[in-house]
Amino acid sequence: MQQRAPSAPETWDEFFSDFYLRAYADDERQGEAQSQALAAARLAGCPPGGDVLDVPCGFGRHSVPLARASYRVVGVDRSESLLAEAQRRTGGERWPKLVRADYRELPLPDESFDAALNLFTSLGYLGDEQDARVLGEIRRVLRPGARLVIETMHRDLLVRESREQDWRLLGGGRLLLEQRTFDAGSGVAQTTQTLIENTGERDSRSFSVRVYTATELVAMLRRAGFEEARCHGDLDGAPFATDTRLVIVARRGAA
Ligand SMILES: C[S@@+](CC[C@H](N)C(=O)[O-])C[C@H]1O[C@@H](n2cnc3c(N)ncnc32)[C@H](O)[C@@H]1O
C-alpha cells in the first residue's frame, strides 16, 4: 500500500504566498495574535526584553507585537511574500529582525535565544525526518535552559473534530472553502483550499501535512535533545486533552 507523504517544499511555497495572505492576513483571529504571542513568551519563561526566535514567523502577526512589547525578536520564514508583509507591519521599527531562510538551516549563531516560538501548526510540512531536523536546529540556537513553545493541531483533535468540508467567510464578501481527507496509516492530512472572490473567481491550492500526536512530538523533541517537554491545551497553560489544541513547552538542557 502506498503511503501518503507531506507536500514538497515547492507546493508549500505556492501556498504560503499571496494566496495565504488573501486567505489569512485579514482574518478576525489577528486580534488574538498579540495576546497569544505574549502568552507564549510568558509560557516559555522568557525574561523581559529577552531574545525571542519566532520560527516560522509568517507575516509577522506574533513577531511585531512581541517587538512592541520590548522583546528582541528575530522572525525567520521561507516565504518572500509573507516576509514582505511582515516587514510592512514593522512600520520601519528596528525590531523585529526578519530573516529569509529554510528552518532546517537557521543562519543564526548557537545559543543566541532565550525562547523560541513555533505557532499555528508550523511543523509537519516536511515529514518526520526533516521536521526532526528543524527541532534540532531550534535547539541549537537556544541558550542552555531556554524553552521552545510549539502550538499546533494534533492528530487526536483532527480525528475528533475535522469535517470533510468547511466554509469560512472572509472580509469583502469572499469565501474560503476547505475540503479535507485524512490518511490514518501515514498520519497525513490532505486539504484543498478554494478562495472564492466576490466576483465569483476561484483559486485553489492543495497540500498534505503530517499531523503528529502529542506522544510523537514529545518523542521527537527528546530525540532532538530537549530535556523536558510538557503538554498543555492552550498558551495560558490549560490542561491538554484530545479536544484541545496542543501546546508543548520543551526545555533545552544545560549541555
Ligand atoms: C501556518 S504558517 C504560520 C506562521 C506563523 N507562525 C503564524 O502563526 O502566523 C506556517 C509558516 O511556515 C513557513 N514555512 C513553511 N515551510 C518552511 C520552511 N521549510 N522553512 C521556513 N519556513 C517555512 C511558511 O512560509 C509559513 O509562513
What's the pLDDT tens digit per position in 173-194? 999 999 999 999 999 999 999 9
Cα–Cα distance between 236 and 36 in angstroms, integer?
9
Considering only CA atoms, which of 137, 172, 156, 125 is closest in space to residue 26? 172
Average pLDDT, integer, range 141-151: 98
Ligand 1 atom nearest the C-alpha of 55 is: 6
**Is 102 close to ligand 1, i.e. is its CB under 6 Å away?**
yes
**Is 51 close to ligand 1, i.e. is its CB under 6 Å away?**
no
Ligand 1 atom nearest the C-alpha of 126 is: 19
Q: Percent of the chain beyond pLDDT 70?
A: 97
The pLDDT score that the predictor gives to residue 38 is 98
The pLDDT score that the predictor gives to residue 255 is 73
The pLDDT score that the predictor gives to residue 29 is 62
Indicate whether 2 pLDDT > 70: no
| Cα 56 to ligand 1 centroid, rounded to whole Å | 4
Could you count the other beta carbons within 10 Å of the beta carbon of residue 50?
A: 18
Indicate whether 46 pLDDT > 90: yes
| Cα 169 to ligand 1 centroid, rounded to whole Å | 23
Instruction: Find the angle CA(133)-CA(139)-CA(140) to the nearest 5 degrees.
Output: 90
Cα–Cα distance between 106 and 116 in angstroms, integer?
12
φ/ψ of 145, rounded to 5, equals: 85, -10
Indicate whether 117 pLDDT > 80: yes
- The string of pLDDT tens digits covering residues 97-114 is 999 999 999 999 999 999
**C-alpha cell, 238:** 490549560
Q: Whose CA is nearest to atom 4 of ligand 1?
A: 58
Average pLDDT, integer, range 46-56: 98
- With the most atoms of ligand 1 within 8 angstroms of its CB, the residue from 15, 32, 78, 108 to mutate is 78
| Cα 29 to ligand 1 centroid, rounded to whole Å | 17
The pLDDT score that the predictor gives to residue 247 is 99
**Is 78 close to ligand 1, i.e. is its CB under 6 Å away?**
yes
**Is 146 close to ligand 1, i.e. is its CB under 6 Å away?**
no
The pLDDT score that the predictor gives to residue 1 is 53
Q: Whose CA is nearest to atom 18 of ligand 1?
A: 102
26 pLDDT tier (thresholds 50, 70, 90): confident
232 pLDDT tier (thresholds 50, 70, 90): very high
φ/ψ of 173, rounded to 5, equals: 70, 20
| Cα 1 to ligand 1 centroid, rounded to whole Å | 31
**Is 124 close to ligand 1, i.e. is its CB under 6 Å away?**
no
**Which run of H or E residues covers position 72?**
strand 72-77
**Is 71 close to ligand 1, i.e. is its CB under 6 Å away?**
no
Query: Could you give the 3-state DSSP secondary structure of residue 29?
Result: coil
| Cα 7 to ligand 1 centroid, rounded to whole Å | 14
The pLDDT score that the predictor gives to residue 204 is 98
Indicate whether 91 pLDDT > 90: yes
The pLDDT score that the predictor gives to residue 31 is 73
| Cα 122 to ligand 1 centroid, rounded to whole Å | 6
**Mean predicted lDDT score pLDDT of the chain:** 96
CA dihedral in degrees (10, 40, 99, 252; nearest 10)? Answer: -90
